[in-house]
A and B are shown apart, each in its own frame.
Chain A
Amino acid sequence: MCIDKEGDFMEKQNEDQYEVTISRLSKYYEGVPVFYNLNMKFLRNRVTAILGPSGCGKTTLLNIISGIEKDYSGKVNLRGSTISYVFQEDRLIPYLSVYDNVAFVLKSTMKKDRIDLTVRKFLRMVELWDYKDKLPCKLSGGMKRRVALARAFAYKSDLLLMDEPFKGLDDRLKSDIIKKFLMIYRESARTIILVTHDKAEAEKLGDVIYSLD
Chain B
Amino acid sequence: MKISITVETKIIKKLFILIFWILVWEICSLFMNNSLLLPSPFEVLKTLIILMGKAYFWKSVFNSILRVIIGILLSIAIGIVTGIISGLNKFIEELLGPLVVTVKSTPVISIIIIALVWFNSSNVVIFTAILICFPIIYTNVIEGIKSVDNYLVQMANVYKVKRKYVVKDIYLPSIKNYIVSGILMCLGIGWKVSVASEVLSTPNYSIGLNLLNAKTTLETSELFAWTIVIVILSFIFEKIFKYYLSRAKK
Q: Which residues of A contact B (CB under 8 A)?
A: 66-68, 82-85, 87, 89, 91, 93, 95-96, 100, 104-105, 107-109, 155
Contacts and interface: CB of A to CB of B under 8 A. Distances in A.
Given A104-B169, A108-B165, A91 B159 contact: no
A85 B158 contact: yes
Interface stretch (B148-156, B179-187, B199-207, B213-221): B148-156
B165 A107 contact: yes
B170 interface: yes
By secondary structure, the A interface counts as: loop
B12 interface: no
Nearest to A96: B169
Contacts of A87: 151, 155
B173 interface: yes
A66 B158 CA distance: 6
A191 to B, nearest CB: 15
Contacts of B154: 68, 91
Given A85-B155, A89-B151, A91-B151, A108 B160 contact: yes
Interface residues of B, number: 16
5 contacts: A91-B155, A93-B170, A105-B156, A107-B162, A108-B162
Contacts of A82: 160
Interface of B: 151-152, 154-162, 165, 169-170, 173-174
B227 to A, nearest CB: 42
Listed from nearest, the 4 A-B pairs whose CB atoms lie closest are: A95-B173, A105-B159, A108-B162, A91-B155
Contacts of A107: 161-162, 165
A68 B157 contact: yes
Given A91-B155, A107-B162, 17 more contacts: A67-B158, A83-B158, A83-B159, A85-B159, A93-B152, A95-B169, A95-B173, A95-B174, A104-B161, A104-B165, A104-B169, A105-B156, A105-B159, A108-B160, A108-B161, A108-B162, A109-B160
A91 B160 CA distance: 15
A93 B160 contact: no
B119 to A, nearest CB: 41
A165 to B, nearest CB: 14
A114 B92 CA distance: 38
Contacts of B158: 66-68, 83-85
A100 B159 CA distance: 15
Nearest to A108: B162
Nearest to A105: B159
Given A68-B154, A85-B155, A93 B169 contact: yes
Contacts of B151: 87, 89, 91
A74 B152 CA distance: 27
B178 to A, nearest CB: 14
Nearest to A101: B169
Contact of A84 (B157, B159, B162, B170): B159
Contacts of A91: 151-152, 154-155
A164 to B, nearest CB: 15
Nearest to A69: B154
A203 B88 CA distance: 44
Nearest to A91: B155
A77 B169 CA distance: 31
A155 B159 contact: yes
A82 B169 CA distance: 21
